[in-house]
Amino acid sequence: MQGIILFFALVYVTGILSLLFGRKIFHSLLAIYAFITAYQYASSFVSDSQYVLLISVLAGVLGVLLVRFAEKAAFFVIGAYFGYLLFGLLGVYIPFQNTYVYYGAMAAVMIVCGLLMIKYQNVLLRYATSFAGGHIIGAASLYLLMEGNNASAYAGADPVLAGSQLGQYIYGPFAQGHSLYILVIAVILMFAGAQYQRHHH
């Protein structure tokens, strides 16, 4: 159960920081996003918790280096990540002919959002980080509300793998199955968070 508690603690801390302080701590957020994304999906490729942590830490370090030495690329990545989250919630309602078209459309949305972020970073950064925070918080909260009793099924002996596998489910099949609800929550929190960032930073 320790892995589940640590997972939700990480999720909510990251979500709140992104929602309310995204623009101010943008440089740190990119590293956190990279770490969490790698952490969620690394267990799909490796079964050793040490390798999961190593891959996640390396992803976070890569995020730091990207911000340090290629700021425009870092802004592009943040925009592309926003596009990825947005497409993940809306793509389930679009009847694509096959998976190639689906992933092609996803790539196009990510590229467009990345380029827009580079051009309009002062405004869009508030909304993108707030949306990401809203998405992170919304999906986790909806899962706890609807299926929280099932979380114990992921409480394996290894806390690292338990949290990773739960994250894959919440932000994968569960988020796709409840994408409309999560989208509404994320959009409401996005506007609230963007306004907070605008007036307090």
Average pLDDT in the chain: 85
- Count of other CB atoms within 10 angstroms of residue 122: 8
Task: Please tell me the distance from the alpha carbon of residue 79 to that of residue 87, in angstroms, as a whole number.
Answer: 12
pTM: 0.82
Q: Who wins on pLDDT, 94 or 140?
A: 140
Res 73 pLDDT > 90: no
The reported pLDDT for the residue numbered 100 is 86
Res 54 pLDDT > 90: no
Residues 49, 156: contact at Cβ < 8 Å?
no
* Percent of the chain's residues with pLDDT above 90: 33
Residues 127, 134: contact at Cβ < 8 Å?
no
Res 126 pLDDT > 80: yes
CA atoms within 13 A on the CB side of 149: 1
Residues 125, 114: contact at Cβ < 8 Å?
no
Model confidence at 44, pLDDT cuts 50, 70, 90, reads low
